[in-house]
């Protein structure tokens, strides 16, 4: 079983042999955090406490199994919010202890990498190593080189790039917030950008330059450019106010919000997304070339983005690109169970002293 509670999703899943998903249950906390436009750590911990027992119960029921039939309990140790992580860790410890089964500590980022493999396995594919993996979510934007491990670990990781400031998903969420388009922003901006068609571009965003490591990302400049553009053009004020009122009245679906967006706003969103996607794809392709790999893995919440998927497919001719499906892109526990399995095979278990680690590097 995998248990995940690092941010704002309480999740539990049962995975067989690290490959077959028997159940994957995710309780999201969007409704709790929405009015704050972002995750509030204290509220997140409280929600995890409320959700963990029913979520685990449902994962067992969907899998059609009894707790006693589990072989091990894998739990996210970090990175993430300490209070949130502690709920999953404490619960996992208690469960492992009560069942007399091993407890396995999993790095959340290793989980996201395993999500890409897990998806490939579901369709009978085997990603070839070495590979370059882009993890792109609300909390992370990072590039790893992934190689076969040394026997003790399934994979060996080397970090080759990361974000200097905001994660890509964070930029999506902040831009959506400032445009009055709700939370989380990624899925909404994804659909609005697709609906923009040939709307004229009110502004163009050039490629992001970063000094030093050319594989590093930076998204705060782009976010600020959107903010300044909106501030300098009073034409946006009224429609933002109208959308905020709609959100406050519970009208927050794509169908609710699309008619409240001018061509100018749609054009702006399309340009923002073009800039983010271009940056993610170009740097990942550069990493693949530099590392001379033929496999690219893309994972994390933003990898659900449709334009990102098409852009990779078009750009990466000759290379194999693997994306998890939507459910495996965002935080889930199947990826944690899959990552735990590799450690289970070699007997790398955690003790009762296991503690949460807020900033836990993968490599
Ligand atoms: O992996 P995840 O569930 O949680 C973190 O570990 O952060 O990712 C959530 C992030 C949010 O910022 C959300 O806006 C973004 O992923 N996201 C998307 C899309 N779906 C989710 N961003 C762009 N396009 C999407 N379709
Ligand atoms: Zn994540």
- What's the pLDDT band for 105 if we cut at 50, 70, 90? very high
8-state DSSP, 59 = H
- Return mean pLDDT, the chain: 96
For 143-202, how does the pLDDT look when each residue is reduced to its tens digit (9 = 90+)? Answer: 999 999 987 788 999 999 999 999 999 999 999 999 999 999 999 999 999 999 999 999
Question: Which atom of ligand 1 is least distant from the CA of 168?
Answer: 12
305 lines ligand 1 (CB under 6 A): yes
Mutation choice for ligand 1 from 7, 84, 302, 333, CB with most ligand atoms inside 8 A? 302
Q: Is the CB of 273 under 6 A from ligand 1?
A: no
- Give the pLDDT confidence score for residue 37 in this predicted structure: 81
Cα–Cα distances in angstroms (integers) from residue 290 to residues 264, 285, 293, in the given order: 39, 9, 8
User: Does ligand 1 have an atom closer than 6 angstroms to the CB of 300?
Assistant: yes
Q: pTM for the full model? A: 0.95
C-alpha 186 to ligand 1 mean position (Å): 6
Q: Ligand 1 center to residue 107 CA distance, Å?
A: 18
With beta carbons less than 8 A apart as the criterion, state whether 84 and 6 touch: yes
Distance from Cα 160 to the centre of ligand 1, integer Å: 22
CA angle 327, 329, 333 (to 5 degrees): 65
Read off the pLDDT of residues 52-96 as tens digits, 9 standing for 90 and up.
999 999 999 999 999 999 999 999 999 999 999 999 999 999 999
Output the six-digit token pair for 253.
């679906």
Residue with CA at minimum distance from ligand 1 atom 23: 186
Helix (H) or strand (E) holding 298: strand 295-299
Best probe residue, ligand 1, of 108, 163, 186, 328 (max atoms within 8 Å of C-beta): 186
- Kindly report the protein residue whose alpha carbon is nearest to atom 16 of ligand 1: 301
Which residue among 137, 273, 279 has the greatest number of ligand 1 atoms within 8 angstroms of its CB, and so is best to mutate? 137
Q: How far is the CA of 4 from the centre of ligand 1 (A)?
A: 16
**Does residue 46 surpass a pLDDT of 80?**
yes
Question: What is the spatial distance between Cα 23 and Cα 16, in angstroms, rounded to a whole number?
Answer: 10
Instruction: Give pLDDT tens digits for 306-341.
Output: 999 999 999 988 999 999 999 999 999 999 999 999
> 291 CB under 6 A from ligand 1?
no
Closest ligand by atom to 26 CA = 1
Distance from the alpha carbon of residue 68 to the mean position of ligand 1, in angstroms:
34
Strands (E), the chain: 2-4, 9-16, 20-28, 73-78, 103-107, 131-136, 141-148, 155-162, 295-299, 320-322
Q: Which residues contact 57 (CB under 8 A, 6 or more apart)?
A: none
Q: Is 301 in the pocket of ligand 1 (CB under 6 A)?
A: yes
Q: Which atom of ligand 1 is nearest to the CA of 8?
A: 4
Give the number of whichever ligand sits closest to the CA of residue 39.
1
Residue whose CA is at the smallest distance from ligand 1 atom 8: 301
The helix-helix angle for 82-99 and 41-63 (nearest 10°) equals 30
Span from the CA of 328 to the centroid of ligand 1 (angstroms): 11
352 C-alpha to center of ligand 2: Å? 25
Residue 300's pLDDT is what? Answer: 96
Q: How far apart are CA 350 and CA 78, in angstroms?
A: 14
């Amino acid at each position: 079983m995998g248990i995940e509670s690092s941010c704002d999703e309480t999740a539990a899943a049962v995975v067989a042999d690290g490959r077959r998903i028997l159940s994957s249950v995710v309780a999201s906390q969007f409704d709790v955090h929405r009015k704050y436009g972002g995750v509030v750590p204290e509220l997140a911990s409280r929600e995890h406490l409320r959700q963990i027992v029913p979520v685990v119960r449902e994962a067992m029921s969907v899998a059609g199994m009894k707790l006693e039939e589990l072989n091990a309990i894998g739990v996210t140790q970090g990175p993430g919010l300490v209070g949130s992580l502690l709920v999953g860790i404490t619960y996992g410890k208690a469960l492992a202890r009560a069942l007399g089964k091993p407890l396995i500590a999993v790095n959340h980022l290793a989980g996201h990498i395993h999500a890409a493999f897990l998806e490939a396995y579901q369709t009978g594919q085997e990603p070839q190593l070495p590979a370059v993996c882009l993890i792109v979510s609300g909390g992370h934007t990072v590039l790893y080189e992934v190689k076969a491990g040394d026997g003790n670990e399934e994979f060996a990781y080397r970090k080759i790039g990361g974000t200097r400031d905001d994660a890509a998903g964070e930029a999506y969420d902040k831009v959506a917030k400032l445009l009055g388009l709700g939370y989380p922003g990624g899925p909404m901006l994804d659909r609005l950008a697709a609906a923009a068609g040939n709307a004229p571009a009110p502004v163009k965003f050039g490629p992001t330059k970063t000094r030093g490591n050319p594989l590093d990302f930076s998204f705060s400049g782009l976010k600020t450019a959107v903010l300044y553009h909106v501030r300098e053009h009073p034409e946006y004020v009224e429609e933002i106010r109208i959308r905020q009122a709609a959100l406050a009245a519970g009208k927050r679906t794509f169908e609710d919000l699309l008619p409240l967006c001018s061509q100018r706003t749609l054009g702006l969103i399309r340009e923002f997304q073009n800039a983010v996607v271009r940056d993610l794809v170009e740097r990942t392709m550069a990493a693949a070339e530099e590392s001379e790999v033929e496999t690219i893995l893309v994972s994390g919440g933003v990898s659900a983005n449709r334009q990102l998927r098409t852009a990779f497919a078009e750009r990466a001719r000759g290379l194999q690109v693997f994306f998890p499906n939507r459910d495996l892109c965002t935080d889930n526990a199947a990826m944690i169970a899959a990552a735990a399995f590799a450690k289970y095979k070699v007997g790398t278990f955690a003790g009762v002293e296991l503690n949460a680690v807020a900033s836990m590097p993968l490599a």
